[in-house]
Amino acid sequence: MAKIFRRTAGSKLDCFCKFERTQLRRFEYTRKCVRDPLQLWETWTDAICPTSLQANFPVITSSTRLLRKKIKAKKQHEIDRIIELISQVQLFANGIVDSLIDIGAGVGHLSRMVSIHNKLAVMAVEGNHQFTISANDLDEKLAKASAVSQTALSFHERPIRYTDFVTEEMALKVDDFTSNSAILVGLHCCGDFSSTVLKVFLDSQKARFLVLLGCCYHKEFQCFNFCKPGDIQEASTKSKSTVFPLSQKWEGYELSYSSREAACHNNENMDKRFCENTDISRYARARLEKWIWEISDSPEDRNIGMCSVKCVENETTFDEYIRKAMANRGSHLLNDVLEVIPKSELSAYVSSFKCSKFDSYDVLRLMFAPAIESAILDDRIAFLQENGIHAKCVPLFEPTISSRNLAIVAYK
């Protein structure tokens, strides 16, 4: 990080950076991922380590073509680590766990692997019906391919998949599905979706274990497709954040939208972000936000999650960026934005917006990111502990591969 500051702002800021980073690290959970299954066991449980643990993390999803089909390397890494953690939970629970609930299951990669490898009954819940259809289709293709090739890659039971909005009432469905005890898993549950998952875990009688990784800490209910349409207005009028704080420990503290958004970034890839300039769209997004503030005073119009746009050096214009970024959310502002921005600025290349002062400010902002994320996670852990739950923060993933690498692992 010091190298980046020297490139962007000079020696005085470099000294400030070193001092502030030293102070901030006192408040941060370590992001250095666990090195092997033994350290993973020691991190999340105080029990005596069993001799059956492997020396290294197993490679599961990339072991055969059938399993790794349509799974990117990042997702393979995440699933392999979670599968090992679930295996350890099964060992720790001494056979009482019979089910796993995958909340926010997407197209079902994790739930599919759990059924095959961990031999658990799996209920996969997803808010996007198209994802559920795709997941069932992939299940069918894997089952047919396994039968033809006569491999050992067969489902313990095919995951039960359905589309639903996740609310605290999900606890009843968890208990109906589970015979004895269940593991609740949420891989990268956005914003206050994680808050809901925590409450489902507390309310369920049979959910005994929790593995939760959050992301997008700045987003709240009105931003999510799992929110029932009738709840959107109600959620948007709430003054208290549903992301932070949840616990008594952090009661009275607040984190702004901008602070929570900063917590979504990692410092491990900062060289790539700033020195290689691989993503120049962030300059356009910042400039677009300035113009949105010019034309609208409505809080609902600010900090909108827009479409991602790949900007090409000396090719993508600001006009092109705006039209693509606002094609979905923010489309109601498009014409007003285009009218107020000077034509010379609209026709300028996005790459011409690069600015060392912008980078310097961004580096300063991101310097606080790990501490802010740690505060959010510590609040969630305290919330569980205040309700009598054993909870730990586990750096499960390699942060250069998966930036939201800190998992809350809890058990009753």
* pLDDT tens, residue by residue, 341-394: 999 999 999 999 988 788 888 888 888 899 999 999 999 999 999 999 999 999
* Range scoring the smallest mean pLDDT among 175-179, 213-217, 296-300: 296-300
Residues 40-53: what's their mean pLDDT? 91
**What is the per-residue pLDDT for 200?**
97
CB atoms within 10 A of CB 306: 19
**What is the per-residue pLDDT for 224?**
42
Q: Per-residue pLDDT for 7 more than 70?
A: no
Query: Which run of H or of E encompasses 213?
Result: strand 207-215
C-alpha 144/C-alpha 99 separation (Å) is 24
pTM confidence score: 0.85
Q: Taking a C-beta distance cutoff of 8 angstroms, is the pair 128, 105 a contact?
A: no
Q: Sort residue 10 into left (φ over 0), alpha (ψ -120 to 50) or beta.
A: left
Interhelix angle 193-203/170-177, rounded to 10 degrees, is: 50
pLDDT digits (tens, 9 = 90+) for 70-125: 788 999 999 999 999 999 999 999 999 999 999 999 999 999 999 999 999 999 99
246 residue type, one letter: L
Q: Per-residue pLDDT for 2 more than 50?
A: no
C-alpha 394/C-alpha 33 separation (Å) is 8
Smallest CA-to-CA distance from 350 within 306, 295, 291, 285 is with: 285
Residues 197-208: what's their mean pLDDT? 97
Alpha helices in 204-295 (DSSP H): 232-236, 257-262, 270, 281-295
DSSP classification of residue 185 = E
* Range scoring the smallest mean pLDDT among 164-168, 184-188, 288-292, 304-308: 304-308
Three-state DSSP string of 319-363: HHHHHHHCCCCCHHHHHHHHHHCCHHHHCCEHHHHCCHHHHHHHH
